[in-house]
Structure formats: C-alpha cells, structure tokens
C-alpha cells in the first residue's frame, strides 16, 4: 500500500471530530477509513460499523479490510438480508467490525436485535445519500441517541454535487462538524494524479434518418400546438422544446386537474397529449443519439402495450398516428446503424492494437444499446466484452443479481473479460480496476455522473476518455450542460471549504448557546425522563414506516403486533388509525373509510384518527363538500377526533406526547383487546375480563391477580369486587348487573 501524504493529513484531521471527506474516485477514500479503523481498534470493548449502499460494495470493503487488518476474519463480519436475524444477533455480539448495508442495520435496530451503544466509529460510504428518509439518516440518529459521548463519524464521497445546501444537509444528518475536500489541483494530491486525456468526437447524423426525423417532428409539432393553445407551454416551436419544458407542462396540467372540482374535458385531453408529446420526443432522441435498434425496440414495446388491456390512451393514439407508423416503417427498411457503433468498433480496434492487454469500459445510458454494442464487438480480435447492468428485469432482458455483478467484476480484474459495457450501475462505488480507456456512448448532463465515469481511468497510469457526440442533436446540449455544471462545481468546491467552516462555527456557537439555555431551565423532556419509557404497540404493516423510525429515535418502546383494528395502540383505551392524505381520499372513494372508522369506534373508548400530509382538498378530483362531509361525520356521528400532521415526524411527535401523557398520568397499560388471536391462556383471560364494564387493562390484571381465575371473578359479590383498588360501587354494580341480568331474545 502506497503511503500518500494527503491520506495521512485527512486521517489526522478526521480522528478528532466527525468529518466528511470529499475526494475524487480512485484517490483512496477507503485507505483513510482504514487508518482511522486501526486507531479505533486500539480501544477495548468497542465496535466499528462500516456502511455502504449496495451488497457488492459491502463485499468489496470486507475483502479490503480482511486483507489489510491483522484481525482474525471471525472478528470482521458481513451483514446481509440473507443471514437470518437470529444469526446476525450472534455475529454482532462477537464481532469488532461489521460491514453492512444501512437497510439491514435499520431493520435490526427497529427490531431491537442490536443497539449502537458499543459502536465508537461509523463510516458512511457514498455519504451523499444521507438525505431525506434514506437509512443512513435513521442509523445516524440512533447512534447519537444511544452513544452520546466518545463517538466518531466518517462520511466519504467522490461527488457531493454543487449544491451547498444539500452538502450541509448531509453534514447535519450525520452530525458532521469538519470537512476535508481535495481536488486534483491540491498540493498534497498533485504528486499522485495521472494525466487524463479527454477527447470528444463529433459524429455526423446519418442523412438516411432525416425523413424519419421530419415525420416524428411533424407528429410532435401537432401536439405542441395544442399544448400551446391550452396555455401549458409558451412556444410550439420544435427547436425551443426540451424534456424539462414538457415535464413542466405535465406539472401545470396536474395542478389544474387537482384544483378543480369538475375539470373540463380539455384538461384531460391536454394530459393525454402531453404524454404523447413526451413519448414522441423520447423516440426522436433515441434515433438521434442511439440508433435504429433502440428506436425499433422502443416502438415494439409500445405496440405491445397499445393492444394490452392496461394500455394508456397515449400509447394507443401514437400507434395509430399515420406519421408515426410511416416513420417506423422507414426505419425498419433501413440497412444501416448509427455511426456511433462504427466509431466504437474503430476505437476498440485501435486501442487493442496499441495495447493488447488493455482494459476498457464503455458507458451507455440505455440497456438496449449496451446489448447491441456487445454484439458488435464480439467479432473484434482480442476483444472479450461483457455487459454490466443493474438488477431490474423486464420481459426480454433479465437483470444481473449482485452475485453475478461481483463475479463479472472479478473476471474483469482477472482479464477473462477486457471490455465492460456498462450502464449507470458501474458509475458509483464499485471497485472496478483502473482502465486504459473509458468511452461515453453519449454525454450525460449530470456533472456528478460524468466525474464518476471518468474516474474509472487514470488511477495508476495516464488514462483516456472519449465522448461520442452526434452533431446537432441532444448530445451536444447534454455535453455542454455537463461541462458548465462541472466548471461551476470546481469553482464552488474551492469556496466550499471556507463557507462550510463558517457554517460549522456558527452552528457550533448556536448549539453551545442552546446547551447553556437548556441547563438553566427545565423542559417537558426533563420531566419525561423521570417517567417510565413510553410503550406503543404498532401494527406489523406500519413497522417499517418513517413514523416508527422517528418514534424509535425518540426512545419509545415499540412492539410489533398484528392488529385487527387501528395502526397504533397507546393504552387500554386509545387506538389510533393513521392515514396519509392519499390513503384517506382513496378510502373515501372505495367506500372503506366508514367501515374502518366504525370498527375503530367499537374497539376503543378513545379512538383517534390522524390524517398525515398536505393537499387534502387538492390532491384528488373530489368535491370539497364530500371531503368536509366525511370529516364532520367522523367527528360528530362517530365521536372520533381527527388530528392533522404535515409529515411522519409530526405524527411521531404527536403519538409520543399522547402516549406519554396517557401512560404517565393515568398509568394505563397498552391493552390486549384490539389485538389478533391466537393468544396465550393468560392473554385470553385478560381479554375476557377487559370486556366487563369500565374494566381497563390495569383493572383486569388486578382482578385476575386477586381472584386467581375468571370463574371466581364472575362469582364474586359486589363487596368482594370493591376490595380491588380502582373499583368503586358504580363499577362493581355495573359488573354485577351485566353478569346477573336475564338475557331476553326480543
């Protein structure tokens, strides 16, 4: 392993505080993690957690650590969903280093099979994913909660993007207070950077395609004129339209549909026309940038869809459009392919003649193209190509499993294959060896993805990148968009260090002020800590929801159960049904809403309905009066209060406070009633006694503890019942009257 000064410098900085490392692909981020792991292993009774987004990455990191760390392999564990939960628990207990995807750790934390109290160091690989509801965020929150002191975090990424707010969100979610950014221009990195020659080759668009393009543009122009007439696009000119403008038109149409109680038919026609325009635009782009094969495959799939029972109106209209049908017929008659394919063959031939043992990656955006390129390269001398695609499958193209992906990479390293024809799955993270040449079949507008693709060459030796661009097509727009964004990202990265340091300083001073303020006054949370832990029973279908994650972070004791009624049980009397806005509206349309509400009312004396999310009156084409009427009926006729929340975090806060108050003030246990059989004998006994008038779960337990069995409770006199704490004359009288009144079948 080569000793590199920038890696040592970064590791030295990162050992003192939680750090985000931004380093180009191939510059050894994992070695920095290794240096920090070695320091952490000097501690006793601690664990290290290494998280990565995919299973192949997890396997790759495990192999790396086992190669360079002088620990027995049994102390370095790999967690996957294929290992049983019970087995994972055993492995966790005896391991020092655990490498896993974040989803597996999240599941084990929610199920309480593991905790993070002993984890002193967490590494988040590809840490730019730590935004929104991604599992990294939950794991980080649980780590902060379970280990407040002596905890270290390392985030690693090659491509943070140019949005400083997103980077700050990653830092906030991972509790990061230090950032180490390096580019190839930094003094301590420059000695290790190899030359990278980037060439872009202009490909002339075939004249044979011209008439087909004219027909497609004519069909598209007809749609654009209509969309301009209804006011969702500003211009119907073919030259001024692009994918972004068509997507904006779709948003405008959907907003109009949602905002009107009875939308006019022209709006529905506009929605269908926009979909047609999008499909035709996409087909045009395919022919211009990919070629005949991709174009034919696209319309073959659309033709099958058009005659299926589930077909969209847009597909049926397109496949009956005479201009489109003529365009398809012309393409089928053509005996040529896109010139890019000939250029690819020429490039590969030249590279293998120059250096027979070359390793080459060809990136294509479309799977159809990757398959076609593979077939074109098979006949080239010394070429051993293989496709490298994602896991998703469709009827005519089966995806690769993670095991197959790992096998292909290994065979590429061992030179069984020397040409990898890859889609975007090969851009991020995977340990694909450095190559002599990277070819872009088409440019891509994302600066992050362009950097990741280029990073596959020029690691240990000078490298080459060739980008194919079809002249006067969308290829040129994408190329210049990527160049513009990359230039901006480079300049902003230089400013980012000082900006972030200022942000961190400000955040730290605000944090310190809040700590002082918190120490000087008691808050509601201080009082909560003195009480027993809040217990909430959750329906098993809700168990992976963001609400449950937030409740776990807050410290609630979550129990999963198969509930017949409701989603959350907070006590013997409070059952809560949670409905997101879409679910609430769909239940109203389906006629299921009032059945669910009725069962909730029958099962709990204090039922609650929570409607979560925004757009209750605008998301669906439902009369406002119908929505208001259903809400009024639930509140007035069923006596069920309705509470609204904006998101999962607010719902979790509300449930936590509600459960805390109910269980603290009234000492009410979470009831068995509402749960699903089969139950144990003990649970069945409690279930029966809870059915007596005004008998809660707590009183049911007291009665059973005192009398010993159900029969003695039923036979007890009112005086004997009143001996139980909590049962007065009224409750005893109600119980006695229920048990002794003659049943009359009137």
| Residue 142 and residue 110 in contact, taking contact as beta carbons nearer than 8 Å | no
Nearest to 440 by CA among 483, 401, 398: 483
Residue 522 has pLDDT above 70, yes or no: no
Helix, strand or coil, per DSSP, at residue 397: strand
The secondary structure of 378-443 as a DSSP string is TTSTT--EEEE--S--BTTBPPPPHHHHHHHHHHHHTTS--EEEE-GGGTSS--PPPBSEEEESS-
Q: CATH 3.40.50.10130 in the chain: give the residue spans.
A: 529-665
Cα-trace Rg, the chain: 32
Residue 136 has pLDDT above 80, yes or no: yes
Beta-strand relationship, 574-580 and 568-569: antiparallel
pLDDT in tens, 29-81: 999 999 999 999 998 889 999 999 888 888 889 989 999 988 887 789 999 87
Q: Which residues of 99-121 are buried (b: 16+ CB within 10 A; e: fewer)?
A: bbbbbbbbbbbbeeebebebbbb
Helix, strand or coil, per DSSP, at residue 394: strand
pLDDT in tens, 264-276: 889 899 999 999 9
Cβ contacts of 19 within 8 Å, gap of 6 or more: 10, 13, 153, 154, 155, 176, 178, 179, 180
Residue 113 has pLDDT above 80, yes or no: yes
What is the structure's pLDDT at 529?
47
CA max distance for the chain: 103
Helix, strand or coil, per DSSP, at residue 677: coil
Q: CATH 1.10.150.20 in the chain: give the residue spans.
A: 681-740
Q: CATH 1.20.1320.20 in the chain: give the residue spans.
A: 207-333
Helix, strand or coil, per DSSP, at residue 102: helix
Cα 540 to Cα 365: distance, rounded to the nearest angstrom? 39
CATH topology of domain 681-740: DNA polymerase; domain 1 (1.10.150)
What is the structure's pLDDT at 530?
47
Q: CATH for 5-192? A: 3.40.50.300
The secondary structure of 515-576 as a DSSP string is HHHHHHS--HHHHHHHSPPPEEEEEGGGTTSHHHHHHHHHT-EEEEE-BSS-SEE-SSSEEE
CATH 3.40.50.300 fits 196-203+338-472, yes or no: yes
Helix, strand or coil, per DSSP, at residue 468: strand
**Average pLDDT, whole number, for the chain?**
84
CATH topology of domain 529-665: Rossmann fold (3.40.50)
Which residues of 164-313 form beta strands (DSSP E)?
178-181, 196-203
What is the structure's pLDDT at 712?
92
What is the pLDDT averaged over residues 219-230? 92
Q: What is the 3-state secondary structure (H, E, C) of 282-320?
A: HHHHHHHHCCHHHHHHHHHHHHHHHCCCCCCHHHHHHCC
Higher pLDDT among residues 522 and 593, named by residue: 593
pLDDT in tens, 67-104: 998 888 778 999 987 888 889 999 999 999 999 999 99
Cα 568 to Cα 550: distance, rounded to the nearest angstrom? 14
18 band by pLDDT with thresholds 50, 70 and 90? very high
What is the structure's pLDDT at 317?
92
Cα 502 to Cα 594: distance, rounded to the nearest angstrom? 55
518 band by pLDDT with thresholds 50, 70 and 90? low
Q: Give the torsion through C-alpha atoms of 185, 187, 188, 192, to 10 deg.
A: 50
Residue 407 has pLDDT above 80, yes or no: yes
Nearest to 59 by CA among 81, 31, 79, 74: 79
Helix, strand or coil, per DSSP, at residue 385: strand
| Residue 432 and residue 361 in contact, taking contact as beta carbons nearer than 8 Å | yes
| Residue 429 and residue 54 in contact, taking contact as beta carbons nearer than 8 Å | yes
Least confident of 148-152, 429-433, 737-741: 429-433
Nearest to 447 by CA among 475, 486, 490: 486
Cα 31 to Cα 28: distance, rounded to the nearest angstrom? 5
DSSP single-letter state for residue 191? G
Higher pLDDT among residues 158 and 438, named by residue: 438
- The most confident of 119-123, 303-307, 342-346, by mean pLDDT: 119-123
Least confident of 136-150, 181-195, 382-396, 501-515: 501-515
499 band by pLDDT with thresholds 50, 70 and 90? low
Q: How far apart are the two ends of the chain, measured CA to CA in Å? A: 90
What is the pLDDT averaged over residues 326-336? 89
Residue 512 has pLDDT above 70, yes or no: no
| Residue 285 and residue 474 in contact, taking contact as beta carbons nearer than 8 Å | yes
What is the structure's pLDDT at 527?
46
Q: CATH 3.40.50.300 in the chain: give the residue spans.
A: 5-192, 196-203+338-472
Percentage of the chain exceeding pLDDT 90: 32
The full length of the chain comes to 746
pLDDT in tens, 613-630: 988 887 777 788 889 999
pLDDT in tens, 236-247: 888 888 888 999
| Residue 572 and residue 698 in contact, taking contact as beta carbons nearer than 8 Å | yes
Residue 522, preceding peptide bond in cis (omega within 30° of 0): no
Q: How far is Cα of residue 389 from the mean position of the Cα atoms in its chain?
A: 20
């209060």: which residue's tokens?
641
How many CB atoms neighbour CB 323 within 10 A?
Answer: 18
What is the pLDDT averaged over residues 652-659? 92
CA distances for 309 relative to 304, 306, 312, 313, 315, angstroms: 10, 8, 9, 11, 12
Cα 34 to Cα 280: distance, rounded to the nearest angstrom? 51
What is the structure's pLDDT at 505?
60
How many CB atoms neighbour CB 704 within 10 A?
Answer: 18
**CATH among 2.60.40.1180, 2.60.120.560, 1.20.1320.20, 3.40.640.10 for 207-333:** 1.20.1320.20
487 band by pLDDT with thresholds 50, 70 and 90? low
pLDDT in tens, 374-397: 988 988 888 999 998 877 777 677
């059945």: which residue's tokens?
595
496 band by pLDDT with thresholds 50, 70 and 90? low
| Residue 584 and residue 617 in contact, taking contact as beta carbons nearer than 8 Å | no
Higher pLDDT among residues 184 and 382, named by residue: 382
DSSP single-letter state for residue 742? P
Give 90's strand partners: none
Cβ contacts of 66 within 8 Å, gap of 6 or more: 73, 76
Q: How far is Cα of residue 600 from the mean position of the Cα atoms in its chain?
A: 32
CA distances for 171 relative to 137, 549, 628, angstroms: 10, 20, 42
| Residue 271 and residue 257 in contact, taking contact as beta carbons nearer than 8 Å | yes
Residue 153 has pLDDT above 90, yes or no: yes
What is the structure's pLDDT at 528?
46
What is the pLDDT averaged over residues 398-420? 86
677 band by pLDDT with thresholds 50, 70 and 90? very low
Helix, strand or coil, per DSSP, at residue 699: helix
What is the pLDDT averaged over residues 658-662? 87
| Residue 366 and residue 294 in contact, taking contact as beta carbons nearer than 8 Å | yes
**The two structure tokens encoding residue 494:** 């230089």
pTM of the entire structure? 0.64
Higher pLDDT among residues 212 and 255, named by residue: 212
């Amino acid at each position: 392993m080569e000793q590199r000064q920038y890696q040592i410098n970064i590791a030295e900085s990162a050992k003192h505080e939680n750090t985000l490392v931004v380093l180009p692909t191939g510059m050894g981020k994992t070695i920095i993690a290794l240096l920090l792991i070695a320091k952490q292993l000097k501690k006793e009774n601690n664990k290290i957690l290494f998280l990565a987004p995919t299973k192949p990455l997890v396997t790759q990191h495990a192999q790396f650590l086992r190669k360079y760390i002088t620990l027995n392999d049994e102390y370095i564990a790999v967690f996957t969903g294929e290992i049983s939960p019970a087995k994972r628990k055993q492995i966790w207990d005896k391991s020092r280093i655990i490498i896993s995807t974040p989803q597996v750790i999240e599941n084990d934390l929610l199920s309480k099979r593991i905790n993070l109290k002993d984890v002193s160091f967490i590494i988040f690989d590809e840490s730019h994913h730590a935004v929104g509801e991604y599992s990294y965020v939950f794991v980080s929150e649980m780590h902060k909660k379970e280990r407040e002191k002596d905890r270290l975090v390392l985030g690693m990424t090659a491509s943070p993007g140019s949005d400083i707010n997103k980077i700050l969100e990653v830092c906030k979610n991972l509790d990061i207070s230090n950032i180490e950014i390096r580019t190839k221009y930094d003094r301590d990195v420059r000695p290790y950077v190899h030359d990278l020659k980037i060439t872009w080759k202009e490909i002339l668009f075939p004249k044979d395609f011209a008439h087909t393009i004219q027909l497609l543009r004519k069909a598209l122009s007809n749609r654009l004129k209509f969309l301009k007439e209804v006011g969702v696009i500003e211009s119907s000119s073919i030259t001024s339209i692009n994918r972004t403008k068509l997507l904006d038109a779709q948003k405008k149409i959907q907003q109009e549909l949602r905002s009107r109680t009875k939308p006019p038919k022209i709006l529905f026609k506009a929605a269908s026309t926009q979909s047609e325009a999008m499909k035709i635009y996409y087909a045009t782009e395919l022919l211009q940038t990919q070629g005949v094969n991709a174009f034919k495959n696209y319309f073959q799939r659309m033709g099958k869809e058009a005659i299926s029972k589930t077909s969209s109106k847009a597909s049926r209209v397109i496949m009956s459009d005479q201009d489109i049908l003529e365009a398809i017929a012309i393409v089928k008659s053509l005996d040529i392919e896109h010139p890019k394919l000939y250029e690819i063959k020429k490039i590969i031939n030249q590279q293998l003649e120059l250096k027979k043992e070359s390793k080459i990656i060809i990136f294509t955006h479309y799977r159809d193209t990757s398959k076609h390129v593979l077939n074109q390269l098979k006949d080239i001398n010394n070429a051993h190509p293989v496709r490298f695609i994602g896991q998703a499958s469709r009827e005519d193209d089966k995806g690769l499993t993670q095991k197959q992906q790992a096998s292909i990479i290994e065979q590429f390293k061992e030179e069984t294959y020397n040409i990898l024809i890859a889609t975007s799955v090969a851009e991020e993270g995977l340990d694909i060896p450095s190559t002599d040449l990277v070819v872009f079949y088409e440019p891509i507008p994302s600066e992050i993805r362009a950097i990741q693709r280029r990073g596959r060459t020029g690691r240990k030796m000078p490298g080459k990148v060739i980008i194919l661009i079809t002249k006067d097509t969308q290829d040129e727009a994408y190329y210049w968009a990527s160049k513009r964004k990359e230039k901006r990202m480079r300049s902003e990265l230089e400013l980012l260090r000082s900006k972030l340091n200022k942000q961190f300083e400000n955040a730290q001073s605000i944090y310190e002020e809040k700590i002082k303020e918190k120490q000087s006054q008691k808050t509601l949370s201080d009082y909560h800590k003195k009480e027993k832990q809040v217990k909430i029973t959750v329906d098993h279908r809700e168990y992976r929801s963001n609400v449950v994650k937030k409740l776990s972070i807050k410290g609630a004791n979550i129990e999963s159960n198969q509930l017949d009624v409701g989603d959350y049980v907070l006590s013997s009397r409070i059952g809560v049904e949670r409905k997101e806005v879409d679910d609430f509206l769909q239940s109203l349309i389906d006629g299921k809403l009032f059945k669910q509400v009725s069962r909730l009312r029958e099962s709990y004396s204090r039922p609650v309905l929570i409607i979560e999310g925004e757009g209750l009156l605008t998301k669906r084409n439902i009369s406002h009066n119908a929505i208001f009427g259903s809400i009024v009926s639930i509140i007035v006729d069923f006596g069920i209060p309705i509470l609204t929340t904006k998101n999962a975090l607010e719902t979790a806060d509300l449930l936590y406070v509600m459960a805390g108050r109910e269980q603290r003030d009234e000492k009410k246990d979470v009831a068995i009633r509402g749960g699903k059989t089969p139950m144990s004998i003990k649970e069945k006994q409690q279930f029966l006694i809870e059915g007596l008038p005004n008998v809660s779960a707590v009183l049911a337990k007291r009665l059973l503890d005192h009398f010993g069995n159900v029969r003695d409770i039923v036979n007890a006199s009112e005086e004997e019942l009143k001996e139980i704490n909590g049962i007065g004359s009224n409750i005893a009288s109600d119980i006695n009257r229920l048990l002794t009144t003659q049943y009359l079948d009137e």
